[in-house]
Structure 1
Amino acid sequence: MISSLFLSFREGLEAALIVGIILIYLHQSERKDLGKYVYYGAVLGLIVSIVGGFMGFREAKELGEEGEEIFENIMRLLASGLIAYFIIWVSNQSNNISTDIKQKVSNNTSAIGLIALSFLSVFREGMELCIMILTKINENSLNVATGIGLGLLFAVLLTYVIFKSSMKLNLKLIFKALGFVLIYLGAEMFAEGIIGITGFNEYPFEVIFMVIFILPSLYFFFKKDINRILKKAN
């Protein structure tokens, strides 16, 4: 349940922050009347994600024991790939993430554009979460659902506190902090997926595969910091 909670918290936090930034930017631009379209898109993205996740989980549960194991291992590798993509994406962000989002809003001031932007922001995170949760089809469904619900609730509450307390947003710093645990979870999924498919004994191969994932992930995660330190040293 803990890993489900963390994964849903991270994905939910990103989606909630993006929607919040869009709404605040519209408010600051004196276009509050367009806010309803942001809500329409967010709700639509949430509904489609829930339906897609439910159908995927149900279909996966109907597989035989051997099919479940193969499917779960494939989902683990796919989920670890998504985490690796997130790590590289964060490392390539040169500007403040909120600035990038505001720029996208400026380019999508129509009702359809805002619905699409909000929908895609929520839907993308929802589908990523679905893929990660599908790695847990052999776990107790109630525990998984509880973890997801709590994680999303905490994400919404934290986003509400951030905006209501007028805290300065530094999404890159928030994602960096979440990234540490995410790297570990990604390494664990990667190792379990490889072992499940290849049939290697868990030890020492599990440690080796986790290190293979962690080392390059940490490099990309701190690449700009490392380069900054090296430039100062020279």
Structure 2
Amino acid sequence: MFGNYLIGLREGLEASLVVCILVAYLVKTGRRDALRPVWLGIAIACGISLAFGAMLEFGTQELTFEAQELLGGTLSIISVGLVTWMVFWMKRTARHLKADLHGKLDTALAMGTGALVATAFLAVGREGLETALFVWASVRASGEGSSAPLIGVLLGIATAILLGYLFYRGTLKINLAKFFRWTGAMLVVVAAGVLAYGVHDLQEARFLGGLGDKAFDISETVPPDSWYGTLLKGVFNFQPDPTVLQLTVWLLYLVPVLTLFLVDRGRPAGAPKVRPADSDSAPAS
């Protein structure tokens, strides 16, 4: 449940910040008349994201077992790729996100209502579709057979909306660069588990071999139905009896990606220092 809460919080906060930046800029520049098309674009993006999630959940139930596993494994791997790209993208652009959105909004204001709807839709829709796909893959990987993963996601999104509102009101300020850095690192760990589960799906679909080649089996030490086994499964997508291929893929993804994400690139010689205020941003400022 914690892993899914983290996904909802991280992805939801990105979308909330985007919304806050767009709305705050229009209010600050006296363009309240443009708020309606912006909210329309946001609503369309949310609706399409929900429809996409429902399609993933209910549209695959009539498939054969092997087809479900093949589709699930493929989409899990795609979702890991998208999330990996997202966390690195946010690491690079978090400090400049506000300026980039302001520039796009200025262009849209000059072009008219349709451009405003499209700008808001694209800004929020990407986050929504990524969230729907990764949540679906993560819930499949958790395999809890209960509503706990979905509750975790909803709680994460609710927390993100609350934080976004507090940012907008100026009553809460945190170091967003550090927040995205550490939640991004935890998401990489979650993504590694989803990737390993996706490989297992492809093995069960007979697309990949080695299903019977177990790297180890500690099911007696860490029973999957125990409270600690359930906790490890929910947070890290831990499996007590992974295949050799699963473990290999997990290590080949987690070690280099997490290292690259956490290692700071040195500031170029002569480059100006970034003031703390630049990274502790509140969208309304």
TM-score > 0.5 by shorter chain = yes
Checking the alignment, whether the CA contact within 8 Å between 1:98 and 1:169 is kept in structure 2 is no
Checking the alignment, whether the CA contact within 8 Å between 1:41 and 1:119 is kept in structure 2 is yes
What residue is the counterpart of 2:226 in the other structure?
Answer: none
What residue is the counterpart of 2:167 in the other structure?
Answer: 162
What residue is the counterpart of 2:145 in the other structure?
Answer: 140
The yes-or-no answer on 1:217 pairing with 2:257 is yes
Higher helix share: 1
Q: Which has the larger radius of gyration?
A: 2
Checking the alignment, whether the CA contact within 8 Å between 1:13 and 1:152 is kept in structure 2 is yes
- The offset of 1:19, in angstroms, is 0.9
Checking the alignment, whether the CA contact within 8 Å between 2:108 and 2:115 is kept in structure 1 is yes
* C-alpha distance after superposition, 1:75-128 (max 9, x if no partner): 221111112211331343385221211121112113212211111222211211
**Aligned partner (choices 259, 267, 274) of residue 228 of structure 1:** 267
Distance 1:212 1:122, change over 3 A: same
* C-alpha distance after superposition, 1:168-201 (max 9, x if no partner): 5764443223201111011111222224423353
The yes-or-no answer on 1:24 pairing with 2:24 is yes
Amino acid at match of 1:125: E
- The offset of 1:222, in angstroms, is 3.9
Which aligned pairs between 1:98-109 and structure 2 lie closer than 5 A? 98-109=98-109
- The offset of 1:167, in angstroms, is 4.5
Say how many residue pairs are matched.
231
Checking the alignment, whether the CA contact within 8 Å between 1:187 and 1:210 is kept in structure 2 is yes
Which aligned pairs between 1:141-220 and structure 2 lie closer than 5 A? 142-167=147-172, 171-197=176-202, 198=208, 199=211, 200-201=213-214, 202=242, 205-220=245-260
Q: Please give the alpha-carbon distance, in whole angstroms, between the structure 1 residues aligned to 2:93 and 2:147.
A: 37
Question: Which residues of structure 2 form unaligned runs of 5+?
Answer: 203-207, 215-241, 271-285
- The offset of 1:46, in angstroms, is 0.7
What residue is the counterpart of 1:128 in the other structure?
Answer: 130
- The offset of 1:39, in angstroms, is 0.9
The yes-or-no answer on 1:79 pairing with 2:119 is no
Question: Which residues of structure 1 form unaligned runs of 5+?
Answer: none
Checking the alignment, whether the CA contact within 8 Å between 1:41 and 1:118 is kept in structure 2 is yes
* C-alpha distance after superposition, 1:17-53 (max 9, x if no partner): 1011001111111112211211111111111111221
Q: Please give the alpha-carbon distance, in whole angstroms, between the structure 1 residues aligned to 2:103 and 2:6.
A: 29
179-188 or 95-104: bigger deviation: 95-104
TM-score, normalisation: structure 1: 0.85
Checking the alignment, whether the CA contact within 8 Å between 2:90 and 2:180 is kept in structure 1 is yes
Q: Please give the alpha-carbon distance, in whole angstroms, between the structure 2 residues aligned to 1:89 and 1:58.
A: 31
Q: Please give the alpha-carbon distance, in whole angstroms, between the structure 2 residues aligned to 1:167 and 1:147.
A: 23
9-18 or 66-75: bigger deviation: 66-75
Q: Please give the alpha-carbon distance, in whole angstroms, between the structure 2 residues aligned to 1:172 and 1:21.
A: 16
- The offset of 1:14, in angstroms, is 0.9
TM-score, normalisation: structure 2: 0.71
* C-alpha distance after superposition, 1:144-168 (max 9, x if no partner): 4322322211110111112213555
Distance 1:78 1:145, change over 3 A: same
Checking the alignment, whether the CA contact within 8 Å between 1:96 and 1:171 is kept in structure 2 is no
Distance 1:44 1:150, change over 3 A: same
Which aligned pairs between 1:3-82 and structure 2 lie closer than 5 A? 3-82=3-82
37-46 or 87-96: bigger deviation: 87-96
178-187 or 202-211: bigger deviation: 202-211
Checking the alignment, whether the CA contact within 8 Å between 1:87 and 1:220 is kept in structure 2 is no
